[in-house]
Chains A and B, each alone.
Chain A
C-alpha cells in the first residue's frame, strides 16, 4: 500500500494532475454538499450538475458549429477551450439558481422544480451532444466521468475556481448557516440575509460548475452529497461536520483513485463507489449502540 502511494505521489507519476484534481474536488465538493444537505436541498445537488453538463455541451455545440466538421477519414482537430467549458458549466449553474430563486416566489414545490430542471437539463445535454459533430471527440469524458484524462491545464483551471470557493465556504460558514437556519433573527440584527443566501448559492454554483467541468455530473453529485451525508451522520457538532466532510471526500477520492489505478477500473465511478461504502459503514456505525444519535 505504501509502495502504491509512493508511486502515486512521485513527481514523475503520469497521472499526477488527474490525482491532484481528484483530491481537490474531493475536498471542496463536500463542503458545498454540507450546505445543500442542511438546507434540505439535496436534490438540487443532483439537478444542478445536470444543468452544468447541459451548459458545457451547449457551449461546445456553439463552438463546434463555428468550426468545420471533420471530413470522412479526416482526424478531428477540434479542441475545446477549458476556460470556456468551465465558464459554460458555471454560467449554466448560476443561471439555473437565478431561475429557481425567481420561481420560488411562485406556486409549486421546490422538489418538483428541481425534478423538472433535472429532466430538462438531462434531455438537453443528450440532444446537444447528439447535434454536435465533434461530440465523440470532445464530450465522452463529461458523461463517463473519466478522471484519468485530466491534464495540467484542467487542474489549473479547476483550482482557479475551487480554491477561492472553498475559502468563501469556510470563512463565511457561520453566516451561511444562520441565514439558512434562522434568517429572521439575522435580518432583525441588521444582516442582509438575501446577500448571504445569494453568495452561498453563487459559490455552490461555481463549485458545481468546476466539478462538472472536471468529471461530469455523475461524479459531481456523488462527490457533493455522499461525503456530506456521511459527515453529518458522524458529527455531533456542526463544526465537526465541516471537518469530516472534506476529510471523507479526500480519503475516499484517494482510495478510489488508488483502487482504480491498481485494478484498471474507471476512476470516477470507483471514487463514488468508495464514498458509498464509507457512507454505508457510517450508517452501520450510527445504528450501533456505541453512539448516540446526533439529533
Chain B
C-alpha cells in the first residue's frame, strides 16, 4: 500500500529562502498529485523537498502508513512526531534527461542502477533483479533500447529509460519534475499512457509537476497549484470513480 501524505504548516524553500509557507493538507494513499504553477512558483523546490533532497524549512511533512492498526493510530495522536510516519522508497525523475556522457552506460545499466538501489550496497545482481530490470524496460516500451549507449538515445528515449530506472527501484512514491517538458507528441502520448496505467494500478503515490493542462486533467486525482508562496489544493473527480475529497489547505 503506498503512503498517504500529511503536511502541517509546512514551509518549503532552499538556502534559507522561503518559497512556500504554511502549507497544511493531507493527501490520500495512492493519490496522483499534479503540481502546477508558473515558472519560479516553487514547483521544483516543493518536489525536491517531497523527495527528501531539500530540507523542510519549518512545520511538518510526513509520509504516513495507512495500514497501521487503530491502536497505533491512537498512540500516535498525542505524539509530537506521528508514530506512523514512514520513510518510503522514492523514485525521482528530474527535468534533466541527460547524464554526463563520460559515463559509458547502456540503457540497461541505467535501469539496473535503479534495481541496485533496492539491494544492499555491493551485492551482486541476481536473476530476480535482472528480471525486474527487463520488466521495467518493457513497461515503458524500451526493451529494444536496452543495449544501446544511453548517451546516444534521443531525448524521449532517455526519458523513458529514466522512468524505467525509477520503476526498477520499486518505489512507493514517484516524484516527476516536468518529465515531459519539450517532448514531441509521440513521446508525450507514450508517457501519458504509461502514467495512466500507473494511476490505475494505484501502487504508488505520484507527484507530477507539469505546465500541461491537458496532461493534468487526464492524469491527476488532485491538483496543487502554487502561486504567491501559497498552495491551493483541488481534488479532481475521475470517471473511473476514484477518490474525490477529504482535504484541507491554507
Binding site for B on A (CB under 8 A): 37-38, 40, 171-172, 174-175, 177-178, 181-182, 184-191, 232, 235-238, 240-241, 294-295
Binding site for A on B (CB under 8 A): 48, 51-53, 87, 89-92, 94, 99-106, 109, 113-114, 116-118, 121-122, 149, 151-152, 165-166, 169, 171, 175
Chain B binding surface SS class:
loop
B104 touches A294 (CB 8 A): yes
A184 touches B94 (CB 8 A): yes
B166: chain A residues at CB < 8 Å are: 185
B102 touches A38 (CB 8 A): yes
In the bound complex, CA of A284 to CA of B151 (Å): 23
How many CB-defined contacts (below 8 Å) exist between A and B?
87
B89 touches A172 (CB 8 A): no
In the bound complex, CA of A232 to CA of B87 (Å): 38
Q: Given A40-B102, A177-B103, list of 7 further CB < 8 A pairs?
A: A38-B100, A174-B122, A175-B122, A181-B103, A188-B51, A188-B53, A190-B90
Q: Which of A174, A189, A237 has the most CB of B within 10 A?
A: A189
A185 touches B165 (CB 8 A): yes
Q: Which of B105, B114, B152 has the most CB of A within 10 A?
A: B105
B99: chain A residues at CB < 8 Å are: 181-182
Report the minimum CB–CB distance from A50 to chain B (whole Å). Answer: 24
Q: A184-B94, A232-B102, A295-B149 are in contact. Are A238 and B109 (CB under 8 A)?
A: yes
In the bound complex, CA of A38 to CA of B101 (Å): 9
B116: chain A residues at CB < 8 Å are: 174, 178
B51: chain A residues at CB < 8 Å are: 184, 187-188
B105 touches A238 (CB 8 A): yes
Report the minimum CB–CB distance from A34 to chain B (whole Å). Answer: 10
B117 touches A236 (CB 8 A): no
B175: chain A residues at CB < 8 Å are: 188
Which listed residue, B91, B101, B106, touches A237 by the CB 8 Å rule?
A: B106
**CB-CB nearest in chain A for B102:** A38
Report the minimum CB–CB distance from A129 to chain B (whole Å). Answer: 37
B114: chain A residues at CB < 8 Å are: 185, 189
B106: chain A residues at CB < 8 Å are: 237
In the bound complex, CA of A78 to CA of B149 (Å): 57
Q: Show 5 residue pairs from A and B whose CB-CB distance is below 8 angstroms, ordered by the A residue.
A: A37-B102, A38-B100, A174-B116, A238-B109, A294-B104
A181: chain B residues at CB < 8 Å are: 99-100, 103, 105
